[in-house]
A = this chain, B = another copy of it.
């Protein structure tokens, strides 16, 4: 018998600090698989800004940079411009990318920086214990929207993939989820395309993961998956929003 599924080589064999059932772990694994399969571990540099995944650097056996909250795309720009033949990716939450880091991601996308952004949208600030994120759904209760997000007061949630797809700059934008095995496979394909977009020098790529936060949603992991499917996916449709033009 041979092993048909196991830990990606590039991931360290350690316990991760994420809560039970948190999708961060699945997304980490997918990155690991793609990096392994593309054979780019020795020239890949990851960037972990602040969020539950700030400790991601402990899990990847890759050169890593911890970045200030929201600034990962700027840090990635600095690295990529200094070392254009390396593969650079950021791993950012929705607080990080869609709140404080809005300008940085929009401009990295506009400039067509040859970086790959992994965007984990769990509709909440996980690390700081459950405040509203820009992506929090209308009606969703958080510690700073105790009566639920009110569209009148807080506005409607930000759809980052759609917003960035409206720009000329980005080459590849997709939204995926990992809440079923089938979606996991699809997500991996998209992630691979994103990295390939960078490897083929076609421009900026981003994959938005619609993710969960059982802890701060106050749901069991299984319930969180159901809630994600029934609520998140309605507002955040999955799909590819932008594909790189064929290089002439």
Binding site for B on A (CB under 8 A): 99-103, 106-107, 109-113, 134, 151-159, 162-163, 165-169
Contacts and interface: CB of A to CB of B under 8 A. Distances in A.
Nearest to A169: B155
Contacts of A112: 151-152, 155-156
Contacts of A157: 110, 168
Contacts of A106: 102, 106, 158, 163
Contact of A100 (B103, B153, B154): B103
A166 B159 CA distance: 8
A109 B100 CA distance: 15
Nearest to A151: B112
Q: Across chains A and B, which 7 residue pairs bring their CB atoms closest together, nearest first?
A: A156-B168, A111-B155, A102-B103, A166-B166, A103-B103, A110-B155, A155-B169
A62 to B, nearest CB: 27
Contact of A168 (B99, B110, B159): B159
A156 to B, nearest CB: 4
Nearest to A153: B111
B111 A107 contact: no
B151 A158 contact: no
A155 B114 CA distance: 11
A99 B238 CA distance: 29
Contacts of A107: 99, 102, 134
A159 B155 contact: no
A237 to B, nearest CB: 13
A103 B157 CA distance: 14
A108 B153 CA distance: 11
20 contacts: A102-B106, A103-B103, A106-B106, A106-B158, A109-B155, A110-B134, A111-B153, A111-B155, A112-B151, A112-B156, A113-B155, A155-B168, A156-B167, A157-B168, A158-B167, A159-B166, A159-B167, A162-B166, A163-B163, A163-B166
A100 B109 CA distance: 15
Given A159-B166, A159-B168, A166-B163, A154 B103 contact: no
A57 B153 CA distance: 30
B154 A111 contact: yes
Given A101-B103, A113-B155, 20 more contacts: A99-B103, A102-B102, A106-B106, A107-B134, A109-B155, A110-B134, A110-B156, A110-B157, A111-B155, A112-B156, A155-B168, A155-B169, A156-B168, A156-B169, A157-B168, A159-B166, A159-B167, A163-B166, A163-B167, A165-B166
